[in-house]
Every structure is written in structure tokens, then in C-alpha cells.
Amino acid sequence: MTRIIAIASEKGGVAKTTTAISLGGALVEMGQEVLMIDLDPQASLTLSLGIAPHTVRRSISDVLINLAPPVSVSRETSIPGLDLLPSNFDMGLAERFLPIRKNYRHILKDALQDIHLYDTIILDCPPSLGAVTSNALVAAHTLVIPTHPEYLSVYSLRNVLRVVRSIRTQENPNLSYRILITMVDQRIGSHQTLSNQLRATFKSAIFETEIQVDTRLRDSTIAGLPVTHFAKSTRSAEQYRALAQELPQYVRSEKVEQAA
């Protein structure tokens, strides 16, 4: 079964897109076929894969607004096994026009239900909790919430989890979530303090893997490649590989819990 993973946070600057592209690269290394979908009007994921958004003629907005088949919009990237459904500035219209559609929260889920070519689909959401992110959460099996160990990022978790509870109640009762601590600087004492507090509060809902600050992540974005393919032996590449290894273990544990 194709696993759909949404990566979302209300707070910007928490390595959301970096996590999407790096996780995608790590999963491809493991032999998976991966489709990445850029749901952000800023098109950061598209740009991070070396595609200028202004050159994109057909994008995910055609799927959400015009109901175009996803396969008619997706394209291959320079990495075999990693495909992209790109974004452009037309995605700004989706947030405005989706809510006037009937059952608008199910549009993305309906569009993806017949796609069976991929092992994993990764949804890179905008840094907001509006109509587009709601579509992603209805379609997803798992939500990954990147969280910087800083006060404002941790504080914004309450809004994300409130939306998760609403989606579970109304549209997607099987939606699970896990928090990924990102941009950890071990030289900053408050980072360790907040990381420990997060783990004490959310326990098994926190990934064991943490992503530390690494300038090579920024460099890989400029190069238009996941860090796993741009700087293969770096600390951040290894950490995202560890995350990719940990994620299936979490999925298996979900199935056991649901069967119990």
C-alpha cells in the first residue's frame, strides 16, 4: 500500500521543506519509489529540487482547482525514483477557492486514491493550517510535525494538534502524527531543555531521531538536491537516513496498536 506522509507545521523556519526533500532522498536510497507533492504557494520544495517555479506551467493547483489527474502534472527529477508534483504561484488561489467547493477537504485524497506507482507520497504543506493543509491531513496516513526547540515553535504545536483532533473526529480517524525535533544546536542549553520537555510530554509521539543544525542542508538546497545525494557522508544525511529507517518501525507499531 502506498503510504502518504504529510509534513506540516504552522510555524515557518522549522526545516519543514528540508525534511520533506531529505526524507524523500533517504527513502529513494532504500529502494522506494517516492512522489513528492509541493503544496506550498512559495514553491520551496519545487525550487529545492532545481525547478524554477515561474517555469512551471501545470502544477498541483491544477489538481486541486481544475481536478486534473496527478499523473498529468507530475514530473521526474534528476534523481531516479524521486518524482515531483510541483507548485507555482497559482497555489495561492487554492486557499481562496477550495472552501467554496463541496467536500473540499477530500479533493486531494480523491485525486491520490488511484495512484499505486509509489511506495511513499510525501506532502509538503504550507506554513499555515488552512484549506490546503486540511486537504493534506485528510489524505495522509501519517503527519510529521517538524519542531524547532524554541519557544514559539513549541507553542505552535497546540494549534497543529487541535487541527489533528478535528480531522480525526470528522474525516480521517486513522491519522497518526509524530513530532520531529529539528535544527538542534547542542551548544545552546535551552535546546536541550526544550527537547527534554517535549520528550517528557509527548513520549512515544516523538521520533528518536533528532536533526541537528548543519550548513550542508542549506548548500544542498542551493544545489537542488536532497542532502542524502548532495553530501552523502554528512551528519545531516545520516540523521535523515536514520529517520527514514525509524519511520517504517513506527508504521508497523501503528498497525499493531490498531489491531489490538
pLDDT at 250: 60
pLDDT at 221: 85
Q: Is 45:21 a contact under the CB 8 Å cutoff? A: yes
pLDDT at 253: 47
Q: Quote the pTM value.
A: 0.93
203 backbone dihedrals φ, ψ, rounded to 5°: 50, -120
Cell of 89: 504561484
Q: Is 200:226 a contact under the CB 8 Å cutoff? A: no
- Residues above pLDDT 90, as percent of the chain: 80
Beta bridge partners of 3: 120
| Crossing angle of the two packed helices 131-139 and 151-170, in degrees rounded to 10 | 60
pLDDT at 251: 58
Q: What is the mean pLDDT of residues 151-168?
A: 93
Class of domain 3-259: alpha beta
What's the mean pLDDT when you consider all of the chain? 92
Angle at 138 between CA 66 and CA 107, to 5 degrees: 15
Taking only the tens place, the pLDDT of each residue in 228-256 is 999 899 999 999 999 999 987 765 445 43
pLDDT at 38: 98
Q: What is the mean pLDDT of residues 36-61?
A: 94
Beta bridge partners of 177: 143
Angle at 218 between CA 213 and CA 223, to 5 degrees: 150
Beta bridge partners of 176: 142
Q: How confident is the model at residue 199 (pLDDT cuts 50, 70, 90)?
A: very high
Separation CA 49–CA 34 (nearest Å) = 14
pLDDT at 258: 42
**Sign of the alpha-carbon dihedral angle for 143, 148, 150, 152:** negative
Evaluate if residue 58 carries a pLDDT over 60. yes
Q: What is the mean pLDDT of residues 125-134?
A: 95
Q: How confident is the model at residue 1 (pLDDT cuts 50, 70, 90)?
A: confident
Separation CA 146–CA 8 (nearest Å) = 7
The H or E element that residue 193 is part of is: helix 189-202
Q: Which residues contact 123 (CB under 8 A, 6 or more apart)?
A: 4, 5, 6, 7, 8, 37, 39, 108, 136, 139, 140
Pairing of strands 34-38, 82-85: parallel
Q: How confident is the model at residue 30 (pLDDT cuts 50, 70, 90)?
A: very high
Which DSSP symbol is given to 234? S
Cell of 243: 529517520
Taking only the tens place, the pLDDT of each residue in 210-225 is 999 999 998 998 888 9
Separation CA 259–CA 99 (nearest Å) = 35
Sorted by where each begins, the domain ranges of the chain are 3-259
Q: Is 120:73 a contact under the CB 8 Å cutoff? A: no
- Residues above pLDDT 70, as percent of the chain: 96
Q: How confident is the model at residue 259 (pLDDT cuts 50, 70, 90)?
A: very low
Q: What is the mean pLDDT of residues 40-57?
A: 93
pLDDT at 211: 96
By CB atoms closer than 10 A (0-12, 13-18, 19+), residue 238 is: middle
